[in-house]
Amino acid sequence: MKTLVLLCLVSSIFAKHEEYIGWKSYYVAPSTMDQLESLGSMIPSFDLDFLSQATTDREGLVLVKPEHQVHFINALESEGIQYWLHKDDVKAQLDLDDEDMETNSKNTPPKGEMAYDRYQRLEVIYAYLDRIAEQYPNLVKLETPAHSFEGRPIKYLKISSTNFEDESKSIVFIEAAIHAREWITPPVATYAIHKLVENVTNADMIEEFDWIILPVANPDGYAITHNGTRFWRKTRSTDHEEGERCPGVDGNRNFDFLWNTVGVSSDPCANTYPGRKVFSEVETRVIRDILHENLNRMVMYLSMHSYGSMVLYSWGHDGSLSNYAFAQQTTAVNMITAIQVKKLPEFPNYTAGNSKLVVGYAISGSSQDYAHYIGIPLAFTYELPGLGRGLLGFSLSARYISHVVDETWDGIVVGARRARQLYGPNPFKY
């Protein structure tokens, strides 16, 4: 009987990831800004899928479909961009990663509990939110403002010792997993909840701040990444041209700031498709509404992504700096300095800076730029670290999850304190 169960497990693992047959992954290492910009221009031409962004001093990791591989390599060689093969068979590596996760991870935690020894499915995360709200009613309020395109609830927590009624407190908003495949981001969000509610070691975080935490902004996409389509990034909506064949919209290109101008693709099948109109997705409308409903006291917005070990800020469309650039840079440096204290030697150092200048290509319609545009002084994108066996970053070894969430929390604490020091409870008076 045990043998039969094992065989069923193995067969189910290897039946997944069929859509990645023939895909390869490459490291690319541009050495100049011109090469970096040329690499960015190749994204729509070859439907490239960057798992980690390249910079002039750090290689990037990119997935390439079979039909584009020869032309992509020719383009790299024409531009003189260094590259080397990472994985010759992406599907085979994903199968091995799944087997490794099933073999080495512990059982799912008891209902309502959270563990950081594996990546948790949506139902485990939601059970944790439900339990926290029920157990701590004087501190936590569970909100379910909408349901996703496929009907899943979109849940977030409001955490406050004063029921969000104290106008002297600043608000911090943390959002994760708008890009579904970035599995390390929900643990960072749920760990922040743990440190604010269950294991408070920084009392000022509760005394001086109210918090809004959305652990899974894209529940439909997140669910499908756990069911075989590991690199799914977008939402799952179909109410656009070619929607049935190519569902979904890039949630981080769907916001109303220079929407559909740069860093996007008009092809609905592309990962950077921005949607048929601004805020076409219920998932992005939820984030928009949270921002506007709390704008008068919100001093910091953190959009969690992976991977790359970066803290990025506006503007992403052209690399220009806002009037808050000095505050953004100093706060970002303070956050990464706190993270570096605990950083493991095998992890890369964090980089802080303007998103266009750091990653080398422009984007439009991002949540970070929209949040800053409407008045939140400190709006950051975290690109969390990636390290591990197999397809690095997205298969971050389970033994690193607890470390990443802990070091990131230290950065969040420092960032929140800096935000309050700069802007107090009311950013609009500055």
| CB-CB contact of 254 with 269 (8 Å) | no
pLDDT(417) > 90: yes
51-65, 223-237, 310-324, range with the lowest pLDDT? 51-65
Q: Is 338 helix (H, G, I), strand (E, B) or coil?
A: helix
Angstrom distance (rounded) from CA 143 to CA 62? 37
Burial of 117 (0-12, 13-18, 19+ CB in 10 A): middle
In terms of Cα–Cα distance, which of 178, 199, 204 is closest to 371?
Answer: 178
Please, which pLDDT band fits residue 106 given cuts at 50, 70 and 90? low
What is the arithmetic mean of pLDDT over 159-164? 98
For residue 70, give the DSSP letter: H
pLDDT(11) > 50: no
Which pLDDT value is given to residue 41?
A: 85
3-state SS of 207-248 is: HCEEEEEECCCCHHHHHHHCCCCCCCCCCCCCCCCCCCCCCC
Angstrom distance (rounded) from CA 168 to CA 112? 33
pLDDT(27) > 80: yes
* Rounded (5°) CA angle 94-100-102: 105
Distance of CA 124 to CAs 83, 98, 105, 111, 130, Å?
40, 19, 15, 7, 10
pLDDT(144) > 70: yes
Which pLDDT value is given to residue 426?
A: 75
Angstrom distance (rounded) from CA 359 to CA 60? 10
What is the arithmetic mean of pLDDT over 246-253? 97
Q: Give the dihedral of Cα atoms 363, 367, 371, 374; nearest 10 deg.
A: 70
Which pLDDT value is given to residue 45?
A: 85
What is the arithmetic mean of pLDDT over 353-373? 94
Angstrom distance (rounded) from CA 286 to CA 11? 39
What integer best gives the mean pLDDT of the chain? 90
CA quadruple 224, 225, 230, 233: dihedral positive or negative? positive
Angle between helices 33-46 and 69-79 (to 10 degrees): 160
383 is catalytic: yes
pLDDT tens track for 253-276: 999 999 999 989 899 988 999 999
More confident residue, 314 or 99: 314
Token digits of residue 150: 């496929």
Neighbours of 241 (CB within 10 A): 11
Whether this model's pTM surpasses 0.85: yes
Distance of CA 335 to CAs 52, 349, 424, Å?
21, 12, 18
Please, which pLDDT band fits residue 407 given cuts at 50, 70 and 90? very high
Q: Is 304 helix (H, G, I), strand (E, B) or coil?
A: strand
Which residue out of 59, 175, 281, 383 is catalytically annotated?
Answer: 383
Which pLDDT value is given to residue 101?
A: 61
What is the arithmetic mean of pLDDT over 404-419? 98
Angstrom distance (rounded) from CA 318 to CA 329? 17
For residue 183, give the DSSP letter: T
pLDDT(394) > 70: no
Domains of the chain: 2-103 (3.30.70.340), 106-229+252-429 (3.40.630.10)
Which pLDDT value is given to residue 308?
A: 87
Which pLDDT value is given to residue 8?
A: 44
Amino acid identity, position 3 = T
Which pLDDT value is given to residue 15?
A: 54
Angstrom distance (rounded) from CA 345 to CA 368? 30
